[in-house]
Structure 1
Amino acid sequence: MSYLVEENAAKHRFEILVDDALAGFTAYLPRGEVLVFTHTEVDDRYQGQGVGAALIKGTLDQVRARGGRVVPRCPFMAAFIERHPDYADLVVDAP
């Protein structure tokens, strides 16, 4: 399986494509350089295959690369960051 995580700014979300098919997304509310993540969804066909983790990792890597910060209101993203503390520096309180 090949993964591609890309931002869909028009829909305020990062999407993950698996073999060119939309497999999931994580939605955000933009607050300047801070993105407040509210919901993550992975298509049932891709559950339990690491797609959600790949989506969050790809999203956080892109946010970090552009100097942004996140507020993980989404429980899935919050749990991922808790399990991967090297991303904790991206977390800020809601603006």
Structure 2
Amino acid sequence: MSFLVRENPAKHRFEILVDDALAAFTAYIPRGEVLVFTHTEVEQRFRDMGVGSALIRGTLDQIRERGVRVVPQCPFMAAFIDRHPEYADLVLAVA
């Protein structure tokens, strides 16, 4: 199985393709140099295969390369970052 994480700026989301099929996406609202992530959805047939985690990891790696920050309002992304503290520096603290 091959994974590809790519941004779809027209839809304001990052997507993961599994063998060229859309398997999941994580949606965001752009706020300048910050992306507010609001929702992650994994297609039913790709659940429990690690696709969601691969999507979030690939998304955060691309965000790190771009030098922007995230606000993880999406519970799935927030939980992933809690479990992977190496991404905590990407989170913009909201007071």
- Unaligned 5+ residue runs, structure 1? none
Whole-angstrom CA distance in 2 between matches of 1:36 and 1:93: 12
Instruction: Tell me the residue number matched to 1:50.
Output: 50
Change (3 A) 1:35 1:94: farther
Which consecutive residues of structure 2, in runs of 5 or more, have no partner in the other structure? none
Distance in 2 separating the partners of 1:57 and 1:33: 19
Q: Deviations over 1:14-71 (max 9, x none)?
A: 0000000000100000001100000000000000000000000000000000101000
Instruction: Indicate the residue corresponding to 1:68 in structure 2.
Output: 68
TM-superposed CA distance for 1:6, in Å, is 0.2
Q: Partner letter of residue 41 of structure 2?
A: E
TM-score normalized by the length of structure 2 = 0.97
Q: After the TM superposition, which segments of 4 or more aligned residues of structure 1 sit over 6 Å from their partners?
A: none
Question: In the comparison of the two structures, how many residue pairs are matched?
Answer: 95
TM-score w.r.t. length of structure 1 = 0.97
Question: How far is 1:94 from its partner?
Answer: 4.6
- CA RMSD in angstroms comes to 1.1
